[in-house]
Amino acid sequence: MAIAKQQVIDSLKQVIFFAKQNNIVDLNMVDDLVVGEKEISLTVIFPKMEDPSVNIVYNSVVKTLKDAFGSDMTINVKPVAEKDRGLGPLSGVKNIIAVIAGKGGVGKSTVAANLAVSLAREGYSVGILDADIMGPSVPILFGVEGEQPGVIERSGKTYMVPLEKFGVRILSLGFFVQPNQALMWRGSMINNAFNQLMKDAEWGNLDFLVIDMPPGTGDIQLTLGQSYNVRGTVLVTTPQRVATADVRRAAIMCRQDKLTIPLLGIVENMSYFIPEDAPDKKYSIFGQGQTELLAEELGIPILAKIPIVGKIAESGDNGNPIALDLTSPVAQTFRTLVQNLKQELEKE
């Protein structure tokens, strides 16, 4: 007796994907279903193949179908990842670029914001995710404090719609936290918040998603490296030895076997001071040479050297990243950063 495809679908509703607390049919995880007289073939689509639930669901599908249609039935199950099918919340994102610093206070968020704006000015579709959970700065840098992202419903689930300004789609935990509210979260809460910003957002199609990472080598860095396909990392440091020592640790973290996030290069921020009344003079007030030593040690280039200019801080505080000011030499420096970054990506 021939088996109807609907019979197989009804049987597969008994297979639960516990990570999402629903059956694999209603979760749209079943595809390429082919039903023959003595053979059933199907593809099961998972958020990621590293999930231990893959084997559990695989075995459950085989057992369920054999119980329903006979132990002599051949069951072919092919597990695949969402990203391999062009599915999932980040399927439209071509390049995830993490901006990382070993310590706070080196201007990482300023570099991330101006990098995103510079990429957008080059004609790329760009998003920026403020993952610095404890100190979100992106809303200030883009002048969107007090605003909140929109929401949409899709397949019974609510997704955040990033704000957009200067051609950049913006999402930050700072949109959901009051300015006078201190976050005292443990690791699991931080990871959950980060994953929600990544996965529960309608990022759409992006050439680049720039992630402003928290300083250090903590939970979010591990989650990013282990759970997402990161195209590369931009390290941010200042010229002092104390800063390069900390960013070295961040670089070593990226090269751990469990992470292996490509290091694209270093941005030396606050590289030198240019007096406003003497624009032809440069003063290396924080020293020099340490970044070159680190770049040589790691075997990666220095992508750009950003000077100390009062307008950088002023423009950031006003919510207008300096990369927007094409008359500023600093804007050209960020454009050089983009060109060098693209060259490194082509090598990768």
Instruction: Give 233-265 pLDDT, tens digit per residue.
Output: 999 999 988 888 888 998 988 888 777 789 999
Question: What is the DSSP-derived secondary structure letter of residue 102?
Answer: S
Q: Which pLDDT tens digit goes with each residue over 153-167?
A: 876 678 899 999 999
* Domain final position from 58, 84, 110: 84
The DSSP H or E segment spanning 295 is helix 290-298
Question: Do 276 and 337 have their domain in common?
Answer: yes
**Closest among 314, 297, 316, 306 to 337, alpha carbons compared:** 306
Question: Do 74 and 107 have their domain in common?
Answer: no
* pLDDT at residue 12, rounded to an integer: 96
Question: Do 28 and 128 have their domain in common?
Answer: no
Question: Do 198 and 280 have their domain in common?
Answer: yes
Question: Do 185 and 208 have their domain in common?
Answer: yes
* pLDDT at residue 61, rounded to an integer: 96
Kindly state the percentage of the chain with pLDDT values over 70: 95
Question: What is the DSSP-derived secondary structure letter of residue 135?
Answer: S
**CATH number of the domain encompassing residue 22:** 3.30.300.130
Q: Which pLDDT tens digit goes with each residue over 30-42?
A: 999 999 989 999 9
**How many domains in the chain?**
2
* pLDDT at residue 96, rounded to an integer: 94
**Closest among 319, 323, 316 to 142, alpha carbons compared:** 319
The DSSP H or E segment spanning 265 is strand 263-268
Host domain of residue 181:
93-347
Question: Do 115 and 242 have their domain in common?
Answer: yes
What is the rounded average pLDDT of the residues 65-91?
85
Average pLDDT, the chain: 88
**CATH number of the domain encompassing residue 160:** 3.40.50.300
Question: Do 226 and 322 have their domain in common?
Answer: yes
Q: Answer yes or no: are the C-beta atoms of 29 and 17 closer than 8 Å.
A: yes
Question: Do 75 and 136 have their domain in common?
Answer: no
Question: Do 59 and 123 have their domain in common?
Answer: no
Q: Other C-beta atoms within 10 Å of 275: how many? A: 13
Question: Do 161 and 66 have their domain in common?
Answer: no
Question: Do 163 and 26 have their domain in common?
Answer: no
**What tokens does 306 get?**
């950003």
Q: Which pLDDT tens digit goes with each residue over 173-219?
A: 888 776 666 666 666 787 888 888 888 888 988 999 999 998 877 78
User: How far, rounded to the nearest angstrom, does the alpha carbon of residue 37 sit from its chain's CA centroid?
Assistant: 46
Q: Quickly tell me which residue has 């949409």 as its tokens.
A: 152
* Domain final position from 29, 64, 84: 84
The DSSP H or E segment spanning 311 is helix 310-317
Question: Do 260 and 199 have their domain in common?
Answer: yes
CA distances from 89 to 47, 202, 203, 204 (A): 9, 7, 7, 8
* pLDDT at residue 156, rounded to an integer: 67
* pLDDT at residue 33, rounded to an integer: 93
* Domain final position from 84, 102, 117: 84
341 pLDDT more than 70: yes
Q: Which of 48-62, 79-93, 156-170, 223-237 is predicted least confidently?
A: 79-93
* pLDDT at residue 253, rounded to an integer: 87
